[in-house]
Amino acid sequence: MSRHFLILQGPHGPFCALLARALRRAGQRASRIGFNAGDAMGWRGDADYVPFRDDRDMWPVTRRAHVIREGVTDIVLYGDDRPVHRVAQDVGRALGLALHFLEEGYLRPHREA
Mean pLDDT (whole number) for 42-71: 76
Q: How confident is the model at residue 97 (pLDDT cuts 50, 70, 90)?
A: very high
Q: How far apart are CA 108 and CA 46, in angstroms?
A: 35
Q: How confident is the model at residue 60 (pLDDT cuts 50, 70, 90)?
A: low
Q: What are phi and psi of 36, to 5 degrees?
A: -160, 175
pLDDT tens digit string along 62-92?
Answer: 777 778 888 999 999 887 777 777 888 888 8
pLDDT over 60 (residue 12): yes
CA angle 91, 95, 97 (to 5 degrees): 90
Mean per-residue pLDDT over the chain, rounded: 81
More confident residue, 28 or 57: 28
Of 105, 111, 59, 107, nearest in space to 86 by CA: 59
